[in-house]
Structure 1
Amino acid sequence: MKKLTLAATILASLSLAACSSNQGLERIDSDFASLDNDSDGYISKVEADDDSIWGHFSNIDTNMDNEISRQEFNTYMKLNNGKVATDSEVSESAFKAEIAKFDKIESSFASLDNDSNGYISVVEGNDDDISNHFGYMDKNQDKRISKSEFMGYIKKYGNAVAEDDALEAIKHS
């Protein structure tokens, strides 16, 4: 009987801890773009420390690199929908609506890769008006866009994100 009581007590404690894991945390009521103050595709601890996201930072930063990527942010928001998000629900249609606001990518990969090293860096991206798309394209979060990431993004979203020159390069790849 004592073992049963002990097991029930432990189970109840664990349940309470699991249920209250987000309790006391301020609700995240901002979208990624408004938190990414320097528009580099990542939310740093400095950018987060005065926003509602600060209390969630360590939970969102799953790879523990002290930055939150757009992918980490979106994943966290999806998993905690209703618990932390007040005005944003991350879904494919919301994503498409967000990227529709961005300037379309006008250039081919080769013309964006200024140093011809096979990658578009954050600096090259900022110089060529793809900064809003950068965090979405950088799938492996290495802070540079490979030709494969670039082509995959444009293939997936087509003329919603790209203009003729960029689309033409995809057709010939």
Structure 2
Amino acid sequence: MNKLLLTTAIAAVLTIPACANHVDKIDSDFASLDNDNDGLISKVEADDDNIWEHFSNIDTDLDGNISRVEYDTYMKLNTGRVAEDSEITESAFKAEIKKFDRIENSFAALDNDSSGYISIEEADDDDISNHFGYIDTNNDRRVSQYEFTSYINKYGKDVAEDEALTTVKNK
């Protein structure tokens, strides 16, 4: 019985690397996979793309969706093994924010409905949209003034300029 268990364990360990070579690489970035622009990649959105084979490994909180943070973390940890090109491979946060437009507007200017939060809809088509998944640290799909201020205070001129940077520094 012990020999059978040992043989099975060894076979499983040896087949994992072999199977890993047959997994399709991810050839799409987060934004192109998030078809409904809700800040998450659902199972439905992933179903017809090669990210499907990776879905259970990326969805670390097991909520059935992949957040931008989960996606970027997975890409960073698996650099070169799961991505087809350097743009996707460099999806880790610091590489990504260099590509984003800097946030220009203050929190108040972005909070169009004065609800005290910036929703995904309010962030859409604005300079904050690419930053949204990083700013929304509690993953409630909205950005509070605290999250906005903390993000800009932490990363400064790398992520913000003009009114956004000035307003936060004056607080």
The TM-score range, normalised by the shorter chain, is 0.7 to 0.9
Tell me how far apart the structure 2 counterparts of residues 20 and 122 of structure 1 sit (CA, whole Å): 41
The answer for the alignment partner of 1:124 in structure 2 is 122
Q: Give, in angstroms, the shift of residue 27 of structure 1.
A: 0.8
The answer for the alignment partner of 1:97 in structure 2 is 98
What is the correspondence of 1:31-42 to structure 2 with a 5 Å cutoff? 31-42=29-40
Q: Give, in angstroms, the shift of residue 54 of structure 1.
A: 1.6
Give, as a single letter, the amino acid of the residue that structure 2 aligns with 1:156: K
Q: 1:142 to 1:17 in 2, by over 3 A?
A: farther
Of the structure 1 ranges 107-116 and 85-94, higher mean CA displacement relative to structure 2 is found in: 85-94
2:31 matches 1:30: no
Q: Give, in angstroms, the shift of residue 77 of structure 1.
A: 1.4
The answer for the alignment partner of 1:67 in structure 2 is 65
Tell me how far apart the structure 2 counterparts of residues 48 and 8 of structure 1 sit (CA, whole Å): 36
Tell me how far apart the structure 1 counterparts of residues 83 and 76 of structure 2 sit (CA, whole Å): 9
**Length-normalised TM-score, structure 2:** 0.81
Q: Give, in angstroms, the shift of residue 145 of structure 1.
A: 0.8
The answer for the alignment partner of 1:147 in structure 2 is 145
Q: Report percent identity of matched pairs.
A: 57
Q: 1:115 to 1:70 in 2, by over 3 A?
A: same
What is the correspondence of 1:105-120 to structure 2 with a 5 Å cutoff? 105-120=103-118
Q: Deviations over 1:41-100 (max 9, x none)?
A: 22223332222212212221222333211100011112222321222134454223322x
Tell me how far apart the structure 1 counterparts of residues 156 and 25 of structure 2 sit (CA, whole Å): 34
Tell me how far apart the structure 1 counterparts of residues 15 and 144 of structure 2 sit (CA, whole Å): 42
Q: 1:51 to 1:12 in 2, by over 3 A?
A: same
Give, as a single letter, the amino acid of the residue that structure 1 aligns with 2:152: I
Q: RMSD of aligned C-alpha atoms?
A: 2.5
Q: Give, in angstroms, the shift of residue 18 of structure 1.
A: 4.1
Match 1:57 to one of 55, 58, 80: 55
Give, as a single letter, the amino acid of the residue that structure 2 aligns with 1:171: K
* SS in structure 1 of the partner of residue 98 of structure 2: helix
* SS in structure 2 of the partner of residue 43 of structure 1: strand
Q: Give, in angstroms, the shift of residue 153 of structure 1.
A: 1.9
Q: 1:139 to 1:171 in 2, by over 3 A?
A: same
Give, as a single letter, the amino acid of the residue that structure 2 aligns with 1:94: A
**Length-normalised TM-score, structure 1:** 0.80
Unaligned regions of 5+ residues in structure 1, if any?
none
Q: Give, in angstroms, the shift of residue 132 of structure 1.
A: 2.0
